[in-house]
Structure 1
Amino acid sequence: MNIPATRADSVIFFRVADRKAGLSRCSDSEKIRGIPMPQKRDDATPTEKSLMLFSLMLFNGREFSLGEIAEKLNCSKQTASRLLDGLERFSYGRLRRGRHGRESFFSLERPNLPPRVCLNPEGLRQLALCRDFMLHLMPESMRRDTEAALNQSTAFLPAEETKENTSRPSGKSLTKGYIDYTPFQHMLDTILHALRDRRVCSVRYQSSLSADEKEYDYAPMLLEVYHEAFFVRGWVVTDKGRVETLYDTPTTLALHRLRAVTMTRRSSEQLPPAEDASSGAFGLLEGDPFKARIRFSPAVSTYVAERRWSEDQHITVHKDTSVTLSLTARSRQELLAWVLGFGEHAQVLSPAWLRRELQDKLTAMLELYAHREKKPSPAESAPDGGRS
């Protein structure tokens, strides 16, 4: 059926065929011929896939290969080809076909209708760059939503910028030891919902593999990213009656260590912001701030000097190009782990108690390697484990 137009300059016409005709008719004929039906790749109906294809072609303004369309719609190339045939019958735009070498490409030629709202092309490019840098942290469904929102935004660019392509990445974040947040999508959505509505959540949390799970009534205030991981900053609150904080300082929870999150009806509107007086200090874990001085050898001095480690840091460059970094830290565990990462190229100068802690850690590390292991057999020492 045709959707009646109320505003000819802004309404997109869709022609939706009955599921027993059109796209599904090919499947019925395959049944008649006795050809076994391929297994569906997802639960989307042919009509839903047609609209997905239409949206993809409309808001991108570029060419797509048949394989790329099949991948984005999560279907076979045969199904993608049938969907493209159906797209040619739509009343909005014209499907253009072309070839590059041996591969066919498709694009949708849109009517030259000026958009009522124009976006800033440079701002959209910057948003796409932020997406490229953050995409690896997002759960799969959030990635798709981000891609779709940016692609749809290109429809509102000025006419001279309609070829702007935000789907092709301009940047990339290189990381190791990252966390796949796809299994935590539901909890992330709940936390974001609670942040928007200022609501208290009931959470179950496991701080480490060796720790028992604990339950809290928790009021999230801010979502943070630190060392390629999401953290929630907020207040642990009373579980009954008036919502009040149980501690003087906010509590930070790692999103990937949450085991369950349920948003309650209790409001956190009256709670203060989860501000942190030492947020400019080195480290995420909260503790009493302290001053430290660390000497770095010329081998790593350039790396250290180029970066900002705390808001009040001071760097002294010596004649041999080594540097001394003076900074404020709030987590001795994080500072010690960071210094140890430089090996023999870093030396803690002060405070004295931090030097002693580092000496204790080095002594413990030496104990791990003090005892020689038995000499491996020729088979064990061979590069392939003795296999040929």
Structure 2
Amino acid sequence: MSSDSETRRFTQLNRTVQLIADLMAGEIHDRNSAAERLGIQPAAADRQLRAIERLPGVKKVKKGRRRAYRFDPASSTGAPPIAVLIGACFGASLGPLFEGTTYQKALSDARDHLLGQSRRSGSFGEVERKFIFLSQGGEIALPEKDAQLEELIGAVLDQQPVSFDYEDFNSAIRSRRVQPLSLAVYKHQLYLIGRDRNGALRSFRFSRIRNAEMDGRPFTYPSKSEYDPDQVFAQSFGIFTNDEQRVEHVELKLAPRWAAHVKSHRWHRSQRAKVADGQVLIHLDVRICPEVEAWILGFGEEAEVLQPRWLRDKISKRVEALRQRYLAG
């Protein structure tokens, strides 16, 4: 074969590849747009498109009055089920939690990628408003600490110990070194769940973590029987983890006006509610932590702790201290 023939063949192949790349990138080509793209006459471009038409995934569509071609990923990979698309929509709705970081756009891009593979993409107009996550405040530490987030994500993925300085609720700062097991979203905030040197599980508020660095050789991620987040937090009333605290039976009496809400709302998995004879009773089996106390106090005068007795006394003292503060003001 002559060098001229080889050159022509290579040029034609290169043009075909360019058109295929355009279609796979989401562009739609008719003979005129293809001719402009390749720098050839429309008739030659039309021959290129007709050859490409036989490839898997290439579909013939209308572009005005002209015949055009596009690439349909679903025809070669299978369209994502509707449940996958809805899951992606809800996942993308978490974007505001990561405002100002690359993850906000990445979540939307992942959703849009899946929607682009669906034959029902037309049903997902205004999807940002149809499936929403109401972020009340979001993660205050972002985007200023996005480099720290990247470090923690890397440590979780690579199963590598991480060292950092941590400021606790009382503003004391201590050095920590943990095996990072999970990044958790709780009440619109990010937390790191890690195992400390003593083997105890601890929760760390992301915004209070400073100077995080991967430190040491990778560790073996625990089996599900050793670490299952669902089990770890089964008796917790929030993000606190304290194996030393025993599970208590809590009985709470609410004002009658809470009846409808209690019938349709669950604060904890162990919750059992009884609404009868003008009484609204809630039963929980949880480790009592500051979050439980704050939850009870949030009901104000419309809640009464019946059990355990020591918790009733503690809430009573806190209410009295609150009363004295207001009297003093």
Instruction: Note whether the superposition's TM-score is higher than 0.5.
Output: yes
Report if aligned partners of 2:155, 2:180 keep a CA contact under 8 Å in 1: yes
Out of 211, 236, 259, the residue aligned to residue 260 of structure 1 is 211
The answer to whether the 8 Å contact 2:89/2:127 transfers is no
- Matched-pair contact (CA < 8 Å) for 2:254–2:304: yes
Partner of 2:241: 286
Structure-2 residue corresponding to 1:348: 305
Deviation at 1:218, TM superposition (A): 1.4
Count of matched residue pairs = 274
Task: Output the amino acid matched with 2:164.
Answer: V
Give the partner amino acid of 2:105.
R
Aligned to 1:191: 152
Question: Does 2:325 correspond to 1:371?
Answer: no
Q: Deviations over 1:98-126 (max 9, x none)?
A: xxxxxxxxxx9973333222331513431
Question: Match for residue 334 of structure 1?
Answer: 291
Is the aligned partner of 1:4 residue 2:14?
yes
Map of 1:224 onto structure 2: 184
1:257, CA displacement in angstroms?
1.2
Cα displacement (A) at 1:90? 4.9
Partner of 2:106: 145
Q: 1:251 Cα deviation (Å)?
A: 1.0
Measure, in 2, the Cα distance between the counterparts of 1:166 and 1:121.
17
RMSD of Structure 2 on Structure 1 (CA): 3.2
Helix, strand or coil for the counterpart of 2:292?
A: helix
Residues 1:315 and 2:303 are matched in the alignment: no
Q: Report which of the two has the higher share of helix.
A: 2
TM-fit CA distance, 1:359? 1.1
Structure-2 change in CA distance of 1:323 and 1:90 (3 Å): farther
Corresponding residue for residue 4 of structure 2: none
- Decide whether the 8 Å contact of 1:224 with 1:231 is kept in 2: yes
Specify whether residues 298 and 133 from structure 1 end up closer, same or farther in structure 2 by C-alpha distance, changes over 3 A only: farther
Structure 2: state its 5+ residue gaps: 1-10, 29-34, 39-62
**In the alignment, what sits opposite 1:120?**
80
Distance in structure 2 (CA, Å) of the matches to 1:166 and 1:274: 41
Provide, for residues 141-190 of structure 1, a one-character-per-residue CA deviation record: whole Å limited to 9, x for no partner.
211112222223333334xx353547631122335344333223222222
Asked whether the 8 Å contact 1:299–1:345 carries over to 2, the reply is: no
Residue pair 2:165, 2:175 contacting (<8 A) in 1 also: yes
The corresponding residue for 1:173 is 133
* Residues 313 and 327, structure 1, Cα contact 8 Å, conserved in 2: yes
- 1:199 and 1:253 map into 2 onto residues whose CA distance is 17
Match of residue 43 from structure 2? none
Contact in 2 for aligned 1:219/1:235 (Cα 8 Å):
yes
Q: Distance in 2 between matches of 1:129 and 1:333?
A: 34
Most deviating of 269-278 and 134-143: 269-278
TM alignment of 1:204-219, pairs within 5 A: 204-208=165-169, 210-219=170-179
Match of 1:368, SS state, is helix
Percent sequence identity over aligned pairs: 18
Q: For residues 368 and 255 of structure 1, what CA distance do their matches in structure 2 show?
A: 33
Matched to 1:229, the amino acid is: Q
Report the CA distance shift for 1:217/1:112 in structure 2 as closer, same or farther (over 3 A): same
Relative to structure 1, is the Cα distance of residues 10 and 157 closer, same or farther in structure 2, using a 3 angstrom cutoff? Answer: farther
Alpha-carbon distance between aligned partners in 2 of 1:129 and 1:149, rounded to the nearest angstrom = 9
Structure 2 partner of 1:135: 95
Instruction: For 2:250, give the aligned amino acid.
Output: A
TM-score (norm: length of structure 2): 0.72
Extract unaligned runs of 5+ from structure 1. Answer: 15-54, 62-87, 92-107, 238-245, 373-388
The secondary structure found in structure 2 opposite 1:211 is coil
